[in-house]
């Protein structure tokens, strides 16, 4: 025998159904049209009020669970993290470009130094006085001219590379500022998310405690109807009956149904004729 059955039964027979819905969904135990009036007594109004308390708590738990699963603070954080990842990727790409440009620059500077060495060497030969052959001197002069053109070309290239490097460094400086800002925002959003999660957990704990204290007050059979109905009714199985209107679906009960309810016992199990929710007179 399941544990839920072993507790002292407070009896489903205390909830005679006014409609025929419970007969279909809950079996013959609740087809209590022939129940004796005595079976209709015994504090069921309180039981039903407690059921409405349970519904309020369960709705809170559902809302909190939903919020926990889809935290707005988490969505904000996710957006920031996405931006942060993009900025980091962009920063890394720019850093690679900068490294490549720095290598180009260093190669060019190395080449310029080499050309300078050659120019120095050829100039020494040209003006050293050791070479007197006009043909050879003309050849050295031509070599020097070629080396100077080469040097100018390398220096032009170096200038371009330096300009590129400055542009990249400027971009990187902007990206670094952006990364700092995004990291700050990410830390704040994480803190907000965590605070929200802690708050929800604490509210969930409170509501679960409240639920645990309400459940023993509700007869097992009534609880079964409620639990069975809840998933089928968007989480709302019990609704207040207020001014002849079911607060579960917002539909007014027919005068016939209302009359039947009025003539019934105070704690009688009544169901909305429209949405079939358990109605609790308030
Ligand atoms: Zn209804």
Q: Domains of the chain: which residue ranges?
A: 7-42+219-281, 72-212
Task: Tell me how far apart the alpha carbons of residues 113 and 162 are, in angstroms, rounded to a whole number.
Answer: 17
Alpha carbon of 55 to ligand 1 centroid (Å)? 15
Residue 228 makes CB contacts below 8 A (sequence gap 6+) with 25, 26
Residue 148 makes CB contacts below 8 A (sequence gap 6+) with 119
H or E, element range at 25: helix 21-26
CA distances from 262 to 237, 243, 252 (A): 21, 12, 15
Alpha carbon of 233 to ligand 1 centroid (Å)? 10
Alpha carbon of 5 to ligand 1 centroid (Å)? 30
Alpha carbon of 48 to ligand 1 centroid (Å)? 16
Task: Tell me how far apart the alpha carbons of residues 144 and 126 are, in angstroms, rounded to a whole number.
Answer: 9
Alpha carbon of 263 to ligand 1 centroid (Å)? 20
CA distances from 86 to 91, 170, 185 (A): 8, 18, 15
pLDDT at 282: 85
Alpha carbon of 223 to ligand 1 centroid (Å)? 19
Alpha carbon of 35 to ligand 1 centroid (Å)? 25
Task: Tell me how far apart the alpha carbons of residues 142 and 134 are, in angstroms, rounded to a whole number.
Answer: 12
Helix, strand, coil shares of the chain, percent, nearest 5, are 75, 5, 20
Identify the bridge partners of residue 271 per DSSP, sorted by sequence position.
278
pLDDT at 10: 42
pLDDT at 32: 32
pLDDT at 14: 47
Alpha carbon of 275 to ligand 1 centroid (Å)? 4
Alpha carbon of 228 to ligand 1 centroid (Å)? 16
Alpha carbon of 253 to ligand 1 centroid (Å)? 8
Alpha carbon of 54 to ligand 1 centroid (Å)? 18
pLDDT at 204: 98
> How many CA atoms lie within 13 Å of 270's alpha carbon, on the beta-carbon side?
28
Alpha carbon of 256 to ligand 1 centroid (Å)? 15
Alpha carbon of 277 to ligand 1 centroid (Å)? 6
Residue among 229, 282, 279, 226 at smallest CA distance from 257: 279
Alpha carbon of 257 to ligand 1 centroid (Å)? 12
Identify the bridge partners of residue 175 per DSSP, sorted by sequence position.
none
Query: 278-281 and 270-271 as β-strands: parallel, antiparallel, unpaired?
Result: antiparallel
Alpha carbon of 173 to ligand 1 centroid (Å)? 63
The pTM (predicted TM-score) of the whole model is 0.66
Instruction: Specify the CATH architecture of the domain 72-212.
Output: Orthogonal Bundle (1.10)
Alpha carbon of 271 to ligand 1 centroid (Å)? 8
Residue among 87, 58, 43 at smallest CA distance from 211: 58
Alpha carbon of 217 to ligand 1 centroid (Å)? 24
In which residue ranges of the chain is pLDDT below 70? 1-43
| Three-state DSSP class for residue 175 | helix
Alpha carbon of 149 to ligand 1 centroid (Å)? 94
Alpha carbon of 22 to ligand 1 centroid (Å)? 15
């Amino acid at each position: 025998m399941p544990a839920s059955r072993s507790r002292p039964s407070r009896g489903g027979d205390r909830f005679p159904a006014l409609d025929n819905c419970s007969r279909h969904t809950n079996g013959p135990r609740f087809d209590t049209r022939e129940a004796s009036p005595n079976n209709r007594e015994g504090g069921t109004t309180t039981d039903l009020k407690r059921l409405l308390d349970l519904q309020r708590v369960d709705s809170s738990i559902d809302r909190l669970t939903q919020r926990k699963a889809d935290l707005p603070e988490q969505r904000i954080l996710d957006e920031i993290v996405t931006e942060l990842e993009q900025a980091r990727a962009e920063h890394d790409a720019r850093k690679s470009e900068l490294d490549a440009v720095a290598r180009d620059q260093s190669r060019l500077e190395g080449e310029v130094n080499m050309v300078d060495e050659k120019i120095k060497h050829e100039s020494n030969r040209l003006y050293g006085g050791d070479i007197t052959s006009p043909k050879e001197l003309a050849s050295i002069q031509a070599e020097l001219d070629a080396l100077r053109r080469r040097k100018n070309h390398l220096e032009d290239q170096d200038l371009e590379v330096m300009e590129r490097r400055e542009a990249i460094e400027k971009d990187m400086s902007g990206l670094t500022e952006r990364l700092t800002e995004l990291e700050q925002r990410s830390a704040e959003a994480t803190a907000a998310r965590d605070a929200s999660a802690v708050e929800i957990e604490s509210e969930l704990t409170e509501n679960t405690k409240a639920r645990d204290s309400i459940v023993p007050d509700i007869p097992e059979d009534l609880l079964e109807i409620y639990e069975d109905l809840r998933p089928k009714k968007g989480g709302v199985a019990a609704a207040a009956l207020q001014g002849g209107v079911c607060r579960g679906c917002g539909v007014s009960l027919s005068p016939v149904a209302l009359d039947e309810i009025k003539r019934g016992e105070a704690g009688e199990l009544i169901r909305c004729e429209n949405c079939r929710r358990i109605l609790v007179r308030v």
